[in-house]
Amino acid sequence: MSCPRQVSRAEHRDDAGFTLLEILVVLAILGLLVGLVAPAALRQLGGARQSVVKQSIARIGTVLDMYKLDTGDYPSTEEGLDALVHRPSSVENWNGPYLKGGAVPSDPWNHAYVYHAPSEREGHDYDLCSHGPNGRGEAGAGMICNP
């Protein structure tokens, strides 16, 4: 009978694990992947928020149209979008609240929407805008408004 060869502890220890060079190569590859993929993922997130704010402005615009059908006019700048949630004292035929949740929604960057009625732009009844990602967009530059 032959006896199986016994492996010494020294031989077994030499074959186990990764070399420092192998670990550095894997870390370099992971670093390159993160450097290439992360910016693309962040761009997609920014684009999604732009899409959400445009859809939200359109939805609030529809609610403003329902408010006008009931009351005969859009809320004034002073009444603001809060008129869609709480009845203004000077308004008759208010049939609200027009928004669920008891509060005016914020844009995807958690900033308040800017509302002006009558509009400061030609051909619009009102202005409903978001200042955009930084919350400091100036009129026409970085602001996202109702079409």
Contacts with 5 (C-beta within 8 Å, 6 or more apart), sequence order: none
Q: What is the pTM of this model?
A: 0.66
pLDDT confidence of residue 8: 56
pLDDT confidence of residue 62: 92
pLDDT confidence of residue 137: 56
- pLDDT by residue for the chain (147 residues), tens only, comes to 555 566 555 555 556 788 888 899 999 999 888 888 877 777 776 678 888 899 999 999 999 999 999 999 999 999 999 999 999 888 888 887 898 888 888 988 889 999 998 888 888 899 999 988 776 655 556 788 888
Please, what is the Cα angle at 136 between 135 and 142, to 5 degrees? 95
N- to C-terminal Cα separation, the chain: 91
pLDDT confidence of residue 136: 66
Tokens representing 106 are 């914020």
Decide: 125 and 74 in contact? Cβ < 8 Å.
Answer: yes
Write the single-letter amino acid at 118. Answer: P
pLDDT confidence of residue 27: 93
| DSSP codes, the chain | -PPPPPPPHHHHHHHSS--HHHHHHHHHHHHHHHHHHHHHHHHHHHHHHHHHHHHHHHHHHHHHHHHHHHHSSPPPTTTGGGGGTS--TT-SS-----SGGGSPPBPTTS-BPEEESS-SSTT-S-EEEE--TTS-PBTTBB-EE--
